Amino acid sequence: MQHGTRSPRPPARAHARAYDRTMAGERPAPDDHPVRPEIEDSWARLRRLGMDPERPRETHRVAPAELEELRRATGLAAVLPVLRSTLFMPGDATPLVLAVSDPKARILWMDGEQRLRRAVDAIGLEQGALWSEDEVGTNAIGLAARTARPAQVHSAEHYLRSHHSWSCFGAPIRDPRTGRPAGVVDLSGPAVGDHHYLRQLALTAARLAETELRAAHLEALHHLRTVAVPLLARFGGPALVVDPAGWTAAAVGVPAPPRLALPAENWEGSSVHWVPTLGECTVEPLADGWLIRPSAPQPAGPAAHSGPGLVELDLRRTDRPELRVSGSAGCWSHTPSPRHTELLLMLGLHRDGLSAAELAEALFADPGRTVTVRAELSRLRRHLGPLLEARPYRLSACAQVTVHGPDDPYDLLPGSASPAVRALRADLAHGVLRLPTAPAAARP
């Protein structure tokens, strides 16, 4: 049945034909249902790793003690009651299974209709199981964990044939303190019938979980503030107190940004550090954060970096891209958004620059989307300052640019579906292209 203007789901046999031909190394036929880019990329990655779609591996499970430790580390236990009460009404045998994993796709909790729970146990979907793509092939939990984006996998889109009787949708739960994934919430049900509602339910569940985490963070920040206010009152100069993620609890004598971008290096004990937007600061540990006291005002941010400097785009962690700028004034780091990361990657590869139309073509396969590109570059310039030049858009020629890529080319911005990034993954996998690296002597 068709609901509203939503397109009807392609027949399962159309998915199966595309799957069979792909696994056999054949090109899709005209009447096959097109394989979605994220599924096609996942299949290509797993075939490159040598996974056999016909032979499921033995399920890897963590020990009970380790499972309890993982549960505590994620802080997601507090969100389970609201998820269960929202998804499972008393006496309602909803035909779905709830799984909550950590950011590495290790299943922490399971819930749902008992008959389905027994059925998913048969394919290894159970508490303590590692459900990453590398272990069990293309699936919504593993795909959402690797790409940090919502993922749907229906029937024959699963890499392992043994999973074709299921449909699942996974949505990352983001930690409001850091913006990074805290875990994945997944809803699974039989592939037969129409399970379009899984998407909206899973997205709603993830947002509910994030709301609970945000409330807990605000409570912790308020507690830190009660400690910080009397502490700051004893100082005669400017100072501020931030939590471990950089969120400001209290400040005196200095403009307090909502969140301070903390340097990449670990702080230990009382010491002097260069802090973005504040310059040189004395940093002291508190029980639940940091006391930061700025020294004499100094230029801060990218504008403070004279000389060639080094711009590093670190993409080795799929869940946390990092931009680092090193120069004579210190080291500045920033976690760019997914779109800004794509733009930085394109500009890092094309040092002579690209026009707005060329960037729109690379990101959207549509050279007409220049307004979107210019708006994003304007936002990116707030972080890069004069290091980002225009007409054409490019990174300053005075900077050495390095891009640190992941070991597996298919892990390069796995959440990106832009044509240029997908082509780059394939070129890297086949050795056609290498990412730019700065000479070791150029590193400050």
Looking at beta carbons, which pairs linking 358-364 to residues 24 or more positions away fall under 8 Å?
Answer: 358/392, 359/393, 361/419, 361/420, 362/418, 362/419, 362/420, 363/339, 363/418, 363/419, 363/420, 364/418
152-156 long-range contacts, Cβ below 8 Å, gap at least 24?
152/198, 152/199, 153/39, 154/9, 154/15, 154/191, 154/195, 155/12, 155/15, 155/16, 155/191, 156/12, 156/15, 156/16, 156/18, 156/19
Give tens-digit pLDDT for 136-187. Answer: 999 999 999 999 999 999 999 999 999 999 999 999 999 998 888 999 999 9
- Looking at the structure, do residues 285 and 328 belong to the same domain, yes or no? no
Mark which of 187, 215, 243 sits at the end of a domain.
215
Low-confidence stretches of the chain (pLDDT beneath 70): 1-12, 91-93, 193-194, 263-270, 276, 296-308, 327-331, 437-444
Q: Do residues 208 and 322 share a domain?
A: no
Tell me, what's the pLDDT at 1? 33
pLDDT for 3: 39
* Judgement on whether residues 121 and 145 belong to the same structural domain of the protein: yes
Q: Looking at residue 110, what is its pLDDT?
A: 95
288 and 313 in a common domain? no
DSSP strand pairing (279-286 vs 181-190):
unpaired
Residue 67 lies in a domain: yes
Q: Do 88 and 178 lie in a common domain?
A: yes
Residue 19 within any structural domain of the chain: no
Residue 84 sits in the same domain as residue 193: yes
- pLDDT tens figures, 299-345: 444 444 444 578 899 999 887 888 888 765 566 777 888 999 999 99
Cα distance between residue 13 and residue 23, in whole Å: 15
Whether residues 123 and 188 share a domain: the answer is yes
Claim to verify: residue 200 and residue 284 sit in the same structural domain: no
Residue 99 within a domain: yes
Same domain, yes or no, for 197 and 241?
A: no
In a domain, 240, yes or no: yes
Look at residue 17 and tell me if it is in a domain: no
CATH number of the domain bearing residue 166: 3.30.450.40
Q: Is residue 24 part of a domain?
A: no
Do both 363 and 248 map to the same domain? no
Residue 285 and residue 326 share a domain = no
Smallest CA-to-CA distance from 170 within 71, 216, 102, 76 is with 102
Per-residue pLDDT at 79:
92
Indicate if 400 and 335 belong to the same structural domain: yes
Q: Note the pLDDT of residue 127.
A: 95
Residue 23 lies in a domain: no
Total domains in the chain come to 3
Q: Which domain holds residue 250?
A: 235-294
Decide which of 215, 250, 272 is a domain's last residue: 215
**If 0-12 CB within 10 Å is exposed, 13-18 middle and 19+ buried, where does residue 5 land?**
exposed
Among residues 268, 294, 320, the one where a domain terminates is 294
What is the tens place of the pLDDT at every residue in 357-384? 999 999 999 999 999 999 999 988 877 8
